[in-house]
């Protein structure tokens, strides 16, 4: 068995891609991924504000979403463990979706600016 040096992080592959529509596993909101952090990259205050029983691990990809729920549109930061693919097929109404993405011939969202990541 090979052992990794303690200072070498395991490389993780993000499960979701930019332009993919996802929904939260626990809360009633959905959105489109517009950026991905390989591991947690927000403030300690933000992380500590999450109830401990549902607080995600920091060593996983975190996704920036143009998100929406029944009442409003907003930007969300969500751990990979709390996202699932949204298969509703419903369009997103978040105003920044149209500014940042175009729909391809297969109905998939693609970044308008290929340098956006």
Taking only the tens place, the pLDDT of each residue in 59-106 is 999 999 999 999 999 999 999 999 999 999 999 999 999 999 998 888
Q: Count CB-CB contacts under 10 A for residue 31.
A: 28
CATH number (domain holding residue 81): 2.30.30
Q: Provide the terminal-to-terminal Cα distance of the chain, rounded to the nearest Å.
A: 36
**pTM for this structure?**
0.84
Q: What φ, ψ does residue 47 adopt, rounded to 5°? A: -65, -45
Q: How many domains does the chain have?
A: 1
**Can you give the pLDDT at residue 105?**
87
Could you report the per-residue pLDDT of 1-30, keeping only the tens digit for each?
Answer: 545 444 445 556 889 999 999 999 999 999
- Asked whether residue 57 is domain-assigned, the answer is yes
Question: What is the domain extent for residue 70?
Answer: 21-111
């Amino acid at each position: 068995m090979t052992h990794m040096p303690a200072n070498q992080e395991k490389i993780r592959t993000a499960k979701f891609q930019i332009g993919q529509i996802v929904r939260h596993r626990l809360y009633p909101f959905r959105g489109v991924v517009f950026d991905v952090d390989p591991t947690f990259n927000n403030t300690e205050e933000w992380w500590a504000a999450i109830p401990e029983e549902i607080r995600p691990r920091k060593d996983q990809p975190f996704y920036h979403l143009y998100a929406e729920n029944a009442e409003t549109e907003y930007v969300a930061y969500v751990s990979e463990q709390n996202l699932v693919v949204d298969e509703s097929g419903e369009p997103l109404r978040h105003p920044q979706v149209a500014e940042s993405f175009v729909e391809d011939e297969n109905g998939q969202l693609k970044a308008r600016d290929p340098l956006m990541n």
